[in-house]
C-alpha cells in the first residue's frame, strides 16, 4: 500500500514461479523479491528473471529476514539487499535513485 500511495504501480505474486513469470511478462523497472518465497525461492526467481531478460535491465532488490544473507553465496543475483524489518525511507530513496526521477503515477 505504501508504494501505491507514493505513485508506484504494484503487482504481487504469492509464490516464486508466478513472481518470475509476472516480472518477465510485465518487465517492471524494479522488482522487490522476498528471499523466503514458497516453491522457487527469491534467488531462483532472480536467476529466472535474469535468464529471461537476456541483458535487458531490471533492478532486483532482495528482501530478507536473514540478517546474515550478505555473507551467504548467491547474492550476485540481486542489485540491492534490504533486511527486514524494512526501513521504508531507505526503500523510497533507493527506488528514486534507480528511477533517476520522481515516481510516475500508476
Band of residue 75 on the pLDDT scale cut at 50, 70, 90 = low
52-75 b/e (C-beta count within 10 Å ≥ 16 → b): eeeeeebbbbbbbeeeebeeeeee
Residue 74 in this model has a pLDDT that exceeds 80: no
**Radius of gyration of the chain from Cα atoms?**
13
pLDDT at residue number 89: 94
Cis peptide before 85 (omega within 30 of 0): yes
pLDDT at residue number 102: 43
Give the helix/strand (H/E) hosting 37: none
Could you report the per-residue pLDDT of 91-103, keeping only the tens digit for each?
Answer: 999 999 998 754 4
Q: Which fold has domain 12-99?
A: Rossmann fold (3.40.50)
Q: Which of 16-20, 29-33, 55-59 has the lowest mean pLDDT?
A: 55-59
Amino acid at each position: 500500500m505504501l508504494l501505491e500511495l507514493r505513485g508506484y504501480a504494484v503487482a504481487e505474486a504469492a509464490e516464486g514461479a508466478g513472481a518470475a513469470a509476472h516480472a518477465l511478462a510485465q518487465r517492471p523497472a524494479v522488482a522487490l523479491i522476498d528471499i523466503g518465497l514458497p516453491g522457487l525461492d527469491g534467488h531462483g526467481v532472480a536467476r529466472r528473471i535474469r535468464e529471461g531478460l537476456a541483458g535487458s535491465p531490471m533492478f532486483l532488490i532482495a528482501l530478507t529476514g536473514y540478517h546474515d544473507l550478505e555473507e551467504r553465496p548467491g547474492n550476485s543475483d540481486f542489485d540491492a539487499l534490504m533486511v527486514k524489518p524494512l526501513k521504508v525511507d531507505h526503500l523510497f530513496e533507493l527506488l528514486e535513485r534507480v528511477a533517476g526521477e520522481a515516481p510516475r503515477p500508476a
